[in-house]
Structure 1
Amino acid sequence: MDGDLAGAPPQWGGTRNRDGQAEAFDAIGDRYDEAFPHKEGQVDGGGWLTASLPAGARVLDVGCGTGLPTARQLADAGLRVTGVDLSPGMLALARRNVPEAELVRGDIADLADGLVQGPFAGATAFFSLLMLPRAEIPGALESIRDLLEPGGLLALSMVEADVDDMAIPFLGNTIRVSGYLRDELRHVVTDAGFDVIKEESYVYAPASTDVPPEEQIFLYCRRA
């Protein structure tokens, strides 16, 4: 990833800086799905949840974006989907793509403050945690854990990168992202109260020329 460090990240529970993040995704809109047309890892992660949970189970999609493919996939399997996203533009697309889902605008950090009501049988966090500074990621994971029922499942993904709150060009806009190397990511997830059941990785080359190829890590987890 190229870019300059965006400065020291805020501490969990302190003042959050999301300047430009939602606005960037509002501007990107459905070009996001055009730039990332093949999401095999994400579809596989959603398939793991749908195969593991009974019809009618509640599932939380953290950072649902346009609703494609995950919220749509989960709803098609008969699960009751609640999606959360910071971007009004993305949520407008999600309402069109998954009209039966409950969709809530909010910051991931607000999950700890009653943004949505649990318990959920499962949750997804596909590439949404990377939008936070590292200092906030453990708290966000703990909030997701607390919303899950005992033994609840979580499928999450991150791009493997040793960066913290770094500004990068993204589809004609600038966003700030964080990442971990895979061993460190596993530690962060387990320290937040999850057992990692399975790990998979994919080399992904987006369709956009300004987004470089990336190594994607998917962790299938259970609330400990």
Structure 2
Amino acid sequence: MSSPGDTPGYQNVRFDRTGQAEAFDAIGDRYDEAFPHKEGQVASAAWLVRSLPAGSRVLDLGCGTGLPTALQLTQAGLEVVGVDLSSAMIALARENVPAGEFHQADIADLGPSGPRHLGRFDAVAAFFSLLMLPRAEIPLALRTIHDLLVPRGLFALSMVEADVDDFAIPFIGSIIRVSGYLRDELREVVEGAGFEIVEESSHTYAPATVDVPPEVQVFLRCRRHT
């Protein structure tokens, strides 16, 4: 068990990351092999590019290998800071996206009063990273993202549509725990954290590996209310 950082909302929460980072350390660049086509993710990142002036700061939360999002954003002239729990993923991201800045860090430590505060951002991208949290923690993570954004900042989120909570699944030769919501509930949770959903799309996706089943991916493009 880990102890939460000083981020508001996390003080009274004990959270369990056991095995999550280690699984992605073991997976490494096989992640990009298993998920070779990321059209929905690329489209959401393109929305950020269209909506932000050059030089804007973007946090890639759960950046993985840096592909495709951090690379796409830096190539468009945005300043990208990526964070991930996995040291192996951070190493790959630094190799794949030399123009980015990458840190091994937990979402609980990133808020304005957290021990790894990285400043404020014009936008945050969280592609399939919040699904690694138990449901009880997801609203806290969303509030942390809200507080990291400048007023009217942008937030691009993707989740897998599923009614599960901290559920263990096989994943590219490892075991990870995932959470999800049905679509209406996901909208409620996001809006309850202070975001306006301005665009939404979904994709049915079949990963290129036999131990990850087909999934429905939901992409929400949001704006902080104030």
Band of TM-score, shorter chain: over 0.9
Quick check: 1:12–1:135 contact (8 Å CA) kept in 2? no
**Structure 1 residue 114 displacement after superposition:** 4.4
What's 2:213 paired with?
A: 212
**Structure 1 residue 12 displacement after superposition:** 4.8
What's 2:3 paired with?
A: none
The correspondence of residues 183-194 of structure 1 with structure 2, limited to 5 A, is 183-194=184-195
What's 2:152 paired with?
A: 151
Structure 2 CA distance for aligned equivalents of residues 177 and 118 of structure 1: 28
> For each residue in 1:165-219, what CA deviation from the matched residue of structure 2 results, as whole angstroms up to 9, or x when unmatched?
0000001100000000000000000000100001100000000011000000000
Secondary structure of residue in 1 paired with 2:110: helix
The correspondence of residues 44-55 of structure 1 with structure 2, limited to 5 A, is 44-55=43-54
**Structure 1 residue 118 displacement after superposition:** 2.5
Structure 2 CA distance for aligned equivalents of residues 107 and 121 of structure 1: 20
Secondary structure of residue in 1 paired with 2:82: strand
**Structure 1 residue 121 displacement after superposition:** 0.7
Secondary structure of residue in 2 paired with 1:33: helix
Larger relative contact order (Cα-Cα within 8 Å, sequence gap ≥ 6): 1
Structure 1 CA distance for aligned equivalents of residues 207 and 117 of structure 2: 32
Structure 2 CA distance for aligned equivalents of residues 12 and 102 of structure 1: 25
Does residue 98 of structure 1 match 2:94? no
Structure 1 CA distance for aligned equivalents of residues 162 and 116 of structure 2: 30
What's 1:177 paired with?
A: 178
Structure 1 CA distance for aligned equivalents of residues 67 and 32 of structure 2: 8
The correspondence of residues 4-19 of structure 1 with structure 2, limited to 5 A, is 12-13=10-11, 14-19=13-18
Secondary structure of residue in 1 paired with 2:201: strand
Structure 1 CA distance for aligned equivalents of residues 90 and 133 of structure 2: 19
RMSD: 1.1
**Structure 1 residue 116 displacement after superposition:** 3.1
**Structure 1 residue 140 displacement after superposition:** 0.5
What's 2:4 paired with?
A: none
Secondary structure of residue in 2 paired with 1:183: helix
Structure 1 CA distance for aligned equivalents of residues 10 and 144 of structure 2: 12
With the length of structure 2 as denominator, give the TM-score of the two structures. 0.93
Secondary structure of residue in 1 paired with 2:77: coil
The correspondence of residues 38-117 of structure 1 with structure 2, limited to 5 A, is 38-112=37-111, 113-117=114-118
Match for 1:115: what amino acid?
Answer: R
What's 1:121 paired with?
A: 122
What's 1:36 paired with?
A: 35
**Structure 1 residue 45 displacement after superposition:** 0.4
What's 1:5 paired with?
A: none
Match for 2:122: what amino acid?
Answer: A
Number of matched residues?
Answer: 214
Unpaired runs of 5+ in structure 1? 1-10
Secondary structure of residue in 2 paired with 1:38: coil
With the length of structure 1 as denominator, give the TM-score of the two structures. 0.94
Match for 1:38: what amino acid?
Answer: H
Secondary structure of residue in 1 paired with 2:137: helix
Quick check: 1:60–1:82 contact (8 Å CA) kept in 2? yes
Match for 1:136: what amino acid?
Answer: E
Secondary structure of residue in 2 paired with 1:169: strand
What's 1:7 paired with?
A: none
Structure 2 CA distance for aligned equivalents of residues 26 and 123 of structure 1: 23
The correspondence of residues 131-146 of structure 1 with structure 2, limited to 5 A, is 131-146=132-147
Quick check: 1:166–1:176 contact (8 Å CA) kept in 2? yes
